[in-house]
Amino acid sequence: MDPALRLSELLAYTEGETRKWRDWFARNPAALDVKLDIAQATDARTLVQHIVIVDLRYAERLLGEEVTAYENVTTDAVTLFATADRAFQKLRSFLSSATEDDWKFVMEFPTPSAGTLKSSKRKMFVHTLLHSARHWAQLATALRTAGFKTDWQHDFLMTDAID
């Protein structure tokens, strides 16, 4: 047995968390309008947009596709989570087809908040998944503080992504 965490397992965890958020917001739509100040987002809706658009844009970069503009992803919940599904499909596609050279390939790309960056595709893939997990955790805390407690454990230990 290989004890190392595989990227497919981390991807499954991140995708599972996103699905749980989609289902939770469907039952708690008012929570999307909770005011907050995280990653330049002013409410939960725009933070979810930030999480989803980053997933999509990095997945597109990994595949060498044209990168979707922020303004092309609206903030209604159905569109946001459909976009998340698209992003995860693209991430799975890259993961299943990437060669060793693909993982090592260094890209230079613009970001809205950090200027122009350079990164290997491997680092970009891992960043995408950790970025999502970090912001979902911040969102869970902000919503709990505002009286909207989620109904599942978010910790990796509680996931079914790995045995």
Cβ neighbourhood burial of 94 (10 Å; 0-12, 13-18, 19+) = buried
pLDDT confidence of residue 113:
81
Q: Mean pLDDT throughout 86-96?
A: 97
Q: How far from 44 is each of 33, 39, 59, 94, 143, CA to CA, in Å?
A: 6, 11, 23, 29, 8
Inside any domain, residue 162:
no
Inside any domain, residue 153:
yes
Inside any domain, residue 1:
no
Radius of gyration of the chain (CA): 16
Alpha helices per DSSP H over 6-64: 7-27, 44-63
pLDDT confidence of residue 65:
98
Inside any domain, residue 2:
no
Q: Domain span at residue 108?
A: 7-157
| Choice between 154 and 6, residue whose per-residue pLDDT is larger | 6
DSSP element (H, E) containing 43: strand 41-43
pTM tops 0.85: yes
- In tens, the pLDDT along 44-86 reads 999 999 999 999 999 999 999 999 998 899 999 999 999 999 9
Domain count for the chain? 1
- In tens, the pLDDT along 112-155 reads 888 899 999 999 999 999 999 999 999 999 999 999 999 878 77
pLDDT confidence of residue 112:
81
Inside any domain, residue 163:
no
Q: Mean pLDDT throughout 102-120?
A: 92
Asked if residues 11 and 148 have their Cβ atoms less than 8 Å apart, the reply is: no
End-to-end CA distance of the chain: give it in Å, rounded.
Answer: 12
| Choice between 152 and 25, residue whose per-residue pLDDT is larger | 25
Inside any domain, residue 105:
yes
> Domain with 135 in it: what CATH number?
1.20.120.450
| Choice between 161 and 44, residue whose per-residue pLDDT is larger | 44
